[in-house]
Structure 1
C-alpha cells in the first residue's frame, strides 16, 4: 500500500502544472525582478500607493488560459504619477486596474502595446485602466495615451478623460508597410470629457493612418460611452478598412464618426444624443463599400461635415491622403430626429468634384418637430438612389428604451425597435467615478478702495469665489494673478484703474468674470500692447473663459491698448461681453490673433458680443484662424444688438461661424470677413450702417464652400 500510494503521489505531481504565483512588489527594483521570473499564470501585483516616475516595461509570454498579469493590489489605489509610462511586449499578457494621474508621459506614447519595434504585444488585454488628466502641460506637445500595435489585442472597461494636449486618445497603429489585420477590440470603455484643442490632432479614437488605409484592420469598436469628447471634428477617425463601429453611445460630443480613409467599414446600432449642443455631429461617409445602418441620432446640430449624415464629394483620382470618391455606400434604417442637417455632396468645391456613385439612401426616418427640410445637396446626387425614406410630420412616441419611434408601428423606416442603449455605468471600471464632486459655493470677499486691497483679496481667494470691490478708485499696478475661476464684481462707481502693462494676468486654470464695475486705463504706462485681461503667457492645456458683464471700460489711451488679449499656445473656450460700454479704446476689445502658424490654430472657440455700446473704439474684434486645416469647429463669432459709433472695426479671418445681426453702426470702420477652407457660415443681417462701409466678405482659397448671406441690412449715407 505504501508503494502504491507513493506511485500515485508521484504520478499526481508529474501531471499537475506548476502553481501560479502572486508577486507583490513594493518598489521599482522589486518589480523588475518579478517581471524576469514571471511564468504563465503568475500575477505581478503593485502595492497600494503612488508610484512616481515609473517607466514600466512589462514583457513575457503567457498562454491563452494562463496569461501573465500586471495588476493593482487594490483597484483604484495604485496611482502611476510623475513622468511615467507603460510599454507592453509579448503574448497573452493582461494589465489591469492601474490609475495614471498627476503627471504625463516622457515619451510619445503613454501606454504602448509594444516594447520596441521587435517586441510587439499580441493577444494582450488592457482592462480597468484609468488615465485621468495625465496630460502634457504643453498643449502643442503631441502624444498618444494608448497606442495599440500587433494583433488580437483588447482594451475594455477603462476610463479616459481630460486629455488637453495634441494627439489621439487611443489609436490602432498601422506602420507604413505593415498593412496586416489588427483585429483589435475596443469595448465598454468610458471616454469622458476632452476639451476643444483648437487645432487638428484631437481625435478620441483613430484606427490607422492614410499610409495603409487601403488594407483592412478589422478592428471592432463597440459598446463604448463617449461623453463631451470635443477635441476636434473627428471623434472616431477611421483610416483603414473592414472595421466595425457598433453599439456605442455618443453623448453631447462635438464631432462625428468619420470614415476618413479605407473601405468596407460598418457603422451600426450606435446612438447619438447631441442634446442641442453646437457642432454635435453624426456619421461622415467617404470611400467605397461603407455600410451605415440602424443608427439613432437625436438632437445633433451640426451642418456640412458635421451633419447627422454627411456623404462627401471626393477628389477625382485622389491621392491616398485626400478624399476618395464615395461608391457603393449603403445608408439604411437610420433615425435622424431633431437634427440640424443631412448633407449630400458635402465639401463640393473646385477640387472635390467626384460625386457619390452606385450608392443608396434607404428606409431612413427623418423627423423635425417644426417640419423643416434639413436635407441639403451641395453637389450632384444622381449617383445616390433614394427609396423608402420617411420624412416630415410623423408622430413619435418615446419607447421603454428611451428612444423615439413612429407611433404608427407599420412605418417601415428608421432604427430598429430592439436597440438597447448602453448604460453609462456599463462603461469603464465600476470602481472609478465618472463625475467630479460638486464644487462648493464660493465665498464673498470684500476689497476696500485702498492700496493693494484687490491684489490681496485675489491672492486669498479660492476657486468660485467672488470679490466685491467697494466704491471708489482702486489704482492697481498689476499684474493681478488669476489662477482659478474667479468673479470680481462691484458697483459702477467702483473704478479699477490699471497703472501697468497688464491688469489681470490669467494663469493656467484661471478664468475671470468682471461684473458691474468700471475699468480705466487713464493712468497706465504708455508702452504699446497693454491689456486689461491677458491670457496665460505660458503654453497651457487648461482652457479658460473670460466674461465682461455690465461693465464700463474707458480711456485705454496707450498705443494699441486691448481689453482682452489672447496669447499663443493657450485657448479660450468662450469670451463673452454683454451689456457693457466701451469708450476711447486704442486697441481691440477682443484681440484673438495670437496664433500665426498655418495649421489652423486659433485662440478662442466662441466669442459673443451682445447688447453693448462702443464709442471711439479702434477695433471691436480681431479674430484669426490661419491655414487650410479643416479639422476644427471654430472660431464661432456672434455680435448682436450693439451700438457702434466712430471706429469699431470688426476683422475676422478663417472664422467658421459668423453671425452679425441687429447692430447699429454710425461713422464706423466696417466689417471685414475673409473665409478660408471648410464650410464657413456667414450671416450678416438686419444691421443699420450709417456713414459706414458695407460689409466686405472675401475668400482666401479656392477650396472650401462658404455659405454667405448678407441680407436685410439698411445703408444710410456714405462712409
Structure 2
C-alpha cells in the first residue's frame, strides 16, 4: 500500500472514531436526585449531565466515569448559579477527565469530610479532572469545632479554577491538597483564578485557607501550581497558605488586607514568584515566611504590611537541629531576590530562635531586593546569627542593622504608582526590586461573574433609623422587625423588658438623648447575641433592679453554646447600675465556642456589680482557643465591682493565632475584684493574651492586675498607671524560664493618706 493511501486510511479511522464518539455522547437533563442516580452509573466519554435549576437539598453527588481528554464527562447547571445545593450536600469525583461547573453550595454543610472531594473513597480517585465556576458560600458545619475541608484534591493532574469560595467559619482548611499516598504525590494539580473571600478569624489553629500537603508527607514533591488567585481578607489564622510539600509553584496571586502569611512550612524546593501582598496598613497583615531547603522567592511585591514575628512582612525562620518531620527544618540555600518591600514594618531573620530552634539559616542569599519605608523606620530584626545569609546588591532608603548593612546601598528614593497600581522608584533602579511589568490580577478576573463579591461584614449604622417609644413590648418588636445595619433610637422613658431580646443581625440601639432611656429587664439577661448578630449600645441607662433574684444574671450574653459566626459588641456613653440583686451578676458573659472580633467599652459608668464586667474565659481546655480577638476599654469608670473588670483566657502553647489583644487606657477603677467568689483575686485577669496595653489608668482599693504569659513572644505593656491601696501588677511566665518579658514601668504604687 502506498504511503499516502495508508495516511488517508489512518486519518479516516481517527475521524470515524471522533464522529462515532460525538454521535454516541448523550445529554441528560435531570431534575431530582433520584433521576440523577438512575443515569449516574452509565456515563461515558463525551456525556453531559445537566442539573435543572432550583434548590437541591441533601444531595450527595457521586460523579464517576471515564472520559477522555477530547471528550470529558461534564456535570453542569442548567443556568450557572441557579442550581443551589443545600442541606447536607456534597460532591465526589472519581475517574478520568471529569468536568464540573456552575454549581452553588449554600445554606447547609457537608455530611462527610469535604464539600468537594476529588475521590470516591481511598481506592477510587479522580485524575485529569476539573472543578470550575463553583461557589461555596458559608457552607459551614453548625458545630464550629467540627473539622472539614471545602475542597480536597487527591489523584493527579486535577484543576480547581474560577471558583468563588467565601465564609468558612468552622474548623478545617478551606482547600487542601492531599498527598497521603503515592497516587496523589507528584500530582501536578492546578489551582488558579479563584476568589478566596473573607475567612473570619477562627480564634485557634485550624483556619488555613490553602494547605498543600501535611507534615507527615512533607518530604514528598507535589508539583502543585497555585496561580492568579485572590485572597481577600482570608484571616483565619497565621498561615493563609501553608505549603507542606516540595516542588510547588505559587505565582501571580494577590493578597488583599489578609491577616497572615504565605508560609513555606515544610517541604523543599518551592518557587514563590510574582505575588502581590497589599496589606493596606491592616494589623497583622503579613507576607512570606521561609523554612526548609532550596526555596526560591523572587519578583514579589509587598506593600503596607504591619505584621510581626511569625506573621511579619518577610520572615526567615530558625530551625531545629536534626528536626523531626513535624517541627522546623533549617533554612538552607534559600534564594531571595528582586522583591520589593514597600512600607513593610517588619523583616525578621532567624525568627523563633530559642533553645530548641537553634539552627540558623545557612548557604542562603538575599540579593537585589528593594526595601523602602517612607516612615524611615528600619524594618530588620535579627534574632540570631545571620552570617549564613549573603546580602548583596540590595537598596534601602534607611540605614539597616549593621549585620546586613554591607549588602545594602542606602539611597534617597522617591516612589510613584505605575499603571499596574504598584509603587516603583522614579529613578533608574531596575537592578533591585520587583519588575515593572508585574501583572496584578483584579477581582473581575477571578471567581465567577454571576455571583457578587459582597463586603465581609455589615457595618454598624449602615441601615435605616427607627424611633422606638417606651411602650411595653415596643423595643422587642422593633428588634424583631429591624433589618441588618439598622439603628433603633429610643425615646425618653422607662423600658421594662419582660422577654429576652435575641440579636441575630447587626443593630445599634441608642438613646435619642443620652441618659434619658432607662432599661430594666425581667429575664436572666437583657440581650442574647446569636449567629449573625452584632450590637452597639449608646447613651443608655441600664439597671438590674428588676432582674430575677437568682445567681448568674447578665445584661448581655452570647448564645450559651454552638455559635458559628463571629460577632461584635460595642457600648459607649452608657450607665450600668445595681447589677447586684444576687451574686455573680455579670455585665457581659460569653458562651462556650463564641468568638468576638471586637468588644469595646468607651465612656461608660459601672456601679455596684456583684460579678464580672467582661467574662471571656469559657475556653479552658488549653488548646489555643479563646473568646475575643480585640477587647478595648477606654475612659470608663468602674466602682464597687466584686468580680474582675475583665477575665480573658487563652490557654495552651499553640502559636497559630495573633490574639487575644487587650487595650485598657484612661479608666478609673475603685473597689474592684475583692469579692470572695472572684477566685483569681484580680481586678484584671489576663491568661495567654498575646498583645496587652494597660496605660494611664487609675486603680484604687482594688485587687491587682494579674497577667500570665503562656506562649511565644507576647507583647505586654503596663505603663503610667496609678495604683492606690492596690498591689503592683503581677506578671508571670508559666512555660518559659527566666524573668517575665513585660514592659512594666513608670507606674505609681502608693498608699492613701487614710491608710
The TM-score range, normalised by the shorter chain, is over 0.9
Shift of 1:394: 2.4
* Aligned pairs for 1:457-606 within 5 A: 457-490=478-511, 491-557=514-580, 558-606=582-630
* Aligned pairs for 1:547-696 within 5 A: 547-557=570-580, 558-617=582-641, 618-647=643-672, 649-696=683-730
CA distance in 1, matches of 2:436, 2:634: 45
CA distance in 2, matches of 1:48, 1:584: 60
Structure 2, unaligned stretches of length 5 or more?
Answer: 1-8, 399-411, 674-682
Partner of 1:412: 431
User: Which region of structure 1 is more displaced relative to structure 2, 497-506 or 463-472?
Assistant: 463-472
**Which deviations, in whole Å up to 9, do the C-alpha atoms of 1:44-90 show, x marking residues without a partner?**
11111121111000000011111111111111111111110001000
Structure 1, unaligned stretches of length 5 or more?
Answer: 1-6
Partner of 2:450: 431
Structure 2 residue 475 is the aligned partner of structure 1 residue 454: yes
SS in 2 for 1:17: helix
Structure 2 residue 431 is the aligned partner of structure 1 residue 397: no
Partner of 1:126: 131
The answer on whether the counterparts of 1:678 and 1:706 sit within 8 Å (CA) in structure 2 is: no
Shift of 1:410: 2.9
CA distance in 2, matches of 1:704, 1:267: 39
Aligned residues: 711
Partner of 2:406: none
From the superposition, tell whether residues 164 and 386 of structure 1 become closer, same or farther in structure 2 (CA, over 3 Å).
Answer: same
The answer on whether the counterparts of 2:662 and 2:692 sit within 8 Å (CA) in structure 1 is: yes
CA distance in 1, matches of 2:392, 2:738: 30
The answer on whether the counterparts of 2:320 and 2:328 sit within 8 Å (CA) in structure 1 is: yes
Structure 2 residue 46 is the aligned partner of structure 1 residue 16: no
User: Which region of structure 1 is more displaced relative to structure 2, 485-494 or 695-704?
Assistant: 695-704
CA distance in 1, matches of 2:320, 2:541: 55
SS in 2 for 1:305: helix
The answer on whether the counterparts of 2:321 and 2:330 sit within 8 Å (CA) in structure 1 is: yes
Partner of 1:87: 92
From the superposition, tell whether residues 544 and 410 of structure 1 become closer, same or farther in structure 2 (CA, over 3 Å).
Answer: closer
SS in 2 for 1:588: coil
**Which deviations, in whole Å up to 9, do the C-alpha atoms of 1:492-514 show, x marking residues without a partner?**
13221233321111121111111
Shift of 1:117: 1.1
2:246 to 238, 241, 247: 241
Shift of 1:16: 3.3
Shift of 1:707: 5.4
The answer on whether the counterparts of 1:179 and 1:215 sit within 8 Å (CA) in structure 2 is: no
The answer on whether the counterparts of 2:665 and 2:697 sit within 8 Å (CA) in structure 1 is: yes
From the superposition, tell whether residues 29 and 178 of structure 1 become closer, same or farther in structure 2 (CA, over 3 Å).
Answer: closer
1:697 to 725, 731, 741: 731
Partner of 1:4: none
From the superposition, tell whether residues 15 and 550 of structure 1 become closer, same or farther in structure 2 (CA, over 3 Å).
Answer: closer
Give the TM-score, by structure 1 length. 0.95
From the superposition, tell whether residues 559 and 242 of structure 1 become closer, same or farther in structure 2 (CA, over 3 Å).
Answer: same
SS in 2 for 1:459: helix
User: Which region of structure 1 is more displaced relative to structure 2, 433-442 or 413-422?
Assistant: 433-442
From the superposition, tell whether residues 259 and 569 of structure 1 become closer, same or farther in structure 2 (CA, over 3 Å).
Answer: same
The answer on whether the counterparts of 1:554 and 1:582 sit within 8 Å (CA) in structure 2 is: yes
Partner of 1:374: 379
Cα RMSD (Å) of the superposition?
Answer: 2.2
Structure 2 residue 161 is the aligned partner of structure 1 residue 156: yes
CA distance in 2, matches of 1:411, 1:646: 64
The answer on whether the counterparts of 1:316 and 1:354 sit within 8 Å (CA) in structure 2 is: yes
CA distance in 2, matches of 1:650, 1:560: 16
Shift of 1:14: 7.5
Give the TM-score, by structure 2 length. 0.91
CA distance in 2, matches of 1:302, 1:595: 26
Partner of 1:360: 365
CA distance in 1, matches of 2:743, 2:274: 37
User: Which region of structure 1 is more displaced relative to structure 2, 535-544 or 100-109?
Assistant: 535-544
SS in 1 for 2:645: strand
The answer on whether the counterparts of 2:52 and 2:77 sit within 8 Å (CA) in structure 1 is: yes
Partner of 2:203: 198
SS in 2 for 1:37: coil
1:341 to 336, 342, 346: 346
Runs of 4+ deviating beyond 4 Å: 10-15, 176-179, 436-441, 703-707
2:311 to 306, 310, 316: 306
Shift of 1:669: 2.1
Partner of 2:408: none
Partner of 2:36: 31
Structure 2 residue 250 is the aligned partner of structure 1 residue 227: no
Structure 2 residue 62 is the aligned partner of structure 1 residue 66: no
CA distance in 2, matches of 1:48, 1:14: 34
The answer on whether the counterparts of 2:732 and 2:740 sit within 8 Å (CA) in structure 1 is: no
CA distance in 1, matches of 2:479, 2:597: 23
From the superposition, tell whether residues 69 and 386 of structure 1 become closer, same or farther in structure 2 (CA, over 3 Å).
Answer: same
The answer on whether the counterparts of 1:347 and 1:679 sit within 8 Å (CA) in structure 2 is: no
Shift of 1:596: 1.3
CA distance in 2, matches of 1:197, 1:416: 36
User: Which region of structure 1 is more displaced relative to structure 2, 57-66 or 351-360?
Assistant: 351-360
